[in-house]
Amino acid sequence: MATEHTPGLSRRDFIRTTAGTTAGAVAASIVAARPASALPQTAKSAGRVLGANDRINFAVVGVKGMGGGHLRNLAGELTQNDNVQVVAICDVWSKARAKACELNKLQESIAYPHYDKMMAAVGKDIDAVVVATPDHWHAALTIASLNAGKHVYVEKPMTHTLEEAFKVQAAAKASGKLVQVGSQGCSDPKWLKAREVVKAGKLGKVLWATGSYCRNNPKGEWNYEIDPEGTPETIDWQTWLGPAPKRAFSAERYFRWRKYWDYGNGIIGDLWPHRLHPLMLAMDIKDYPSRVACMGGDLVGTDKGPGPDGKPWGDPREVADTTLMMVEFPSGQMIFLAGATTNERGVDDVIRGNKANLLAGGTKLLLQPERPYTDEIEASDESVPDSGESHLKHMRNFIQSMRTNTPPNCDIELGVRVQTIVSMAETAYRQKRQVSFDETKKRLT
């Protein structure tokens, strides 16, 4: 059980380079080499069937940022109250591993530099894997974990490409294991209540929804601090790159990967999933999208001039700082989203029906009838207690799902549909065209 920090192991012993090894290659090759159809479709993977009272053993992969947050919850509050424990962690940066162990009082012997080594050593003890690496690693690690019979909590966006999304879907189906995508809004009671209101028909026919994720960061969003200890000696750069194109070590890319298409897709994949998953859940849309338009640009160009330190930027951002998207479903229903990192005035979260609108800003949920329907629909405050997004609630939902073997709130089917929108939006934005989805061929046209 993960408890004490091991004082016997020196920091120097622990922080040593792992560059040049090939571990991680196995997981990476899964995505590169196996089409979805090649994955076993029937055989259920080995792995414990969890009973209501079993302790659930977690591994967390990627423990610097978001993974560090999940680890704190899992090794703290959830270990204390929810009968789980952390049996392994994994990160390609030695400093991230050391810090995670120190902060969470974990033995350094449970910290691995490579996923494959972790699975070889303690895979049989793991029930669930949390994937919190940059996006370009999500699919490979999720598929490898599902194939090994593990349930997976994978951060949003679920995958980096559309093809990967269908491979994850196939692996989930073949393994019979659960996938929770880390879009915590889906476990916000507000959105679950919104779905009830919609399903009760209180909006009439649901037509379209608006939402946004807008910030204003004059220093350039995602220009996180570059830690001088993040060097080729402490980071296994080849493994970090994994399925991404090979290139020389770049601290800029390691710490600020969200700005580059090889690893992420800016607002589209980083911020919009937080609106898309809850909106689709609340609107009760189960279809794949039919058409997506997405436009915008790097309008302010925060990274084109001198950086915050006065020196020129190494690699200016590739992703947009301002972007708008329209999604259409086969039913004709639509979602309009705004996203910005250079202007914080967003568009309200509203689901619109022909009889009433559901305003979902903040923790409130307000039903407002359209003027012609005021006799039929009464305005009401549908807000529920304990509203608000939290990673803890979303992880608890995952834990509960594993115990009851029921789909979590942001399950694979919702995840793959949102990922289809994300990938369509990236293509639409980068190719400056409207993109359609061929559901039979699972291809963009």
Ligand X SMILES: NC(=O)c1ccc[n+]([C@@H]2O[C@H](COP(=O)([O-])OP(=O)(O)OC[C@H]3O[C@@H](n4cnc5c(N)ncnc54)[C@H](O)[C@@H]3O)[C@@H](O)[C@H]2O)c1
User: Can you give the binding site for ligand X, defined by CB under 6 A?
Assistant: 24, 61-62, 64-67, 90-93, 96, 115, 132-135, 137, 155-156, 182, 184, 239-240, 242, 270
**56: which 2 tokens?**
């659930």
Beta carbon of residue 31, minimum distance to ligand X (angstroms, whole number): 12
Contact 117, 21 (CB under 8 A): no
Query: DSSP secondary structure string, 209-264?
Result: EEEEEE-B-TT-TT-----TT-STTTB-HHHHHTTSPP----HHHHH-GGGSTTT-
Three-class SS state of 18: coil
Beta carbon of residue 18, minimum distance to ligand X (angstroms, whole number): 10
DSSP 342: B
Nearest residue to the partner ligand X, using Cβ: 65
Beta carbon of residue 100, minimum distance to ligand X (angstroms, whole number): 9
| Cβ nearer to ligand X, comparing 133 with 427 | 133
Q: CA-to-CA distance for 445 and 436, rounded, in angstroms?
A: 5
Three-class SS state of 426: helix
| Cβ nearer to ligand X, comparing 91 with 188 | 91
| Cβ nearer to ligand X, comparing 134 with 369 | 134
Q: CA-to-CA distance for 50 and 431, rounded, in angstroms?
A: 46
User: Across the chain, which distance is largest between two alpha carbons, in Å?
Assistant: 74
Beta carbon of residue 151, minimum distance to ligand X (angstroms, whole number): 18
| Cβ nearer to ligand X, comparing 73 with 333 | 73
Place of tokens 């609108």: 357
Beta carbon of residue 208, minimum distance to ligand X (angstroms, whole number): 25
| Cβ nearer to ligand X, comparing 156 with 177 | 156
Q: CA-to-CA distance for 238 and 58, rounded, in angstroms?
A: 26
Contacts of 384 (CB under 8 A, 6+ apart): 189, 190, 193, 365
Beta carbon of residue 403, minimum distance to ligand X (angstroms, whole number): 22
Q: CA-to-CA distance for 52 and 342, rounded, in angstroms?
A: 47
Q: CA-to-CA distance for 173 and 130, rounded, in angstroms?
A: 18
| Cβ nearer to ligand X, comparing 66 with 326 | 66
Q: Is the dihedral of CA 75, 81, 82, 85 positive or negative?
A: positive
| Cβ nearer to ligand X, comparing 210 with 234 | 234
Place of tokens 């997405």: 294
Name the residue among 192, 146, 142 with its Cα closest to residue 419: 142
SS3 per-residue string spanning 52-112:
CCCCEEEEEECCCCHHHHHHHHHHCHHHHHCCEEEEEEECCEHHHHHHHHHHHCCCHHHEE
| Cβ nearer to ligand X, comparing 145 with 357 | 145
| Cβ nearer to ligand X, comparing 131 with 356 | 131
| Cβ nearer to ligand X, comparing 110 with 198 | 110
